[in-house]
Amino acid sequence: MIDFKNPEFVKLKEAPNAFNSELMPLLVDGEQIISSYKSIRDGVAFTNKRIFVINIQGMTGKKKDITSLPFSKVQAFSTETAGVLDMDSELELWFSGLGKVKLEFAGNTDIGKICKLISDLVL
């Protein structure tokens, strides 16, 4: 499992369809992948029901850890947008039973789009 307490999660960049083959078998009826973000190997995908965090492991990358974080368990979230010297955006989510999850995105990521998605699905 990804160490969610590690503040140095690699910066994520938008990568449409990056994890579709891994995630499609896990989707429930009516669930759709809305957006995907990828670092060098790992990534995050947002659906209309949850967030998947994908951790690619091992030398070959065949071993994968996929964590499902349902929007129904989100208690709060906050964002920090990119600035002049700080070129990344951050998203922090608090889940009941898990605690804080921090995701760091490349500075050119539309973090507002992600916040709107979360707001639409949580509120």
Q: What is the mean pLDDT of the chain?
A: 86
Bridge partner list, 54? 43, 66
Q: Which pTM value belongs to this model?
A: 0.86
16 is written with which tokens? 């449409």
Question: Does the pLDDT value for residue 6 go beyond 60?
Answer: no
Backbone angle region of 88, left / alpha / beta, with phi > 0 → left and psi within -120 to 50 → alpha: beta
Show me where the domains of the chain are located: 13-122
- Burial label for 120, CB within 10 Å (0-12, 13-18, 19+), is exposed
- CATH, domain range 13-122: 2.30.29.50
- Burial label for 123, CB within 10 Å (0-12, 13-18, 19+), is exposed
Question: Does the pLDDT value for residue 5 go beyond 70?
Answer: no
Question: Does the pLDDT value for residue 1 go beyond 50?
Answer: no
Give per-residue pLDDT as tens, 8-44.
Answer: 556 888 998 889 989 999 999 999 999 999 988 889 9
d(CA 120, CA 123): 6
Question: Does the pLDDT value for residue 3 go beyond 70?
Answer: no
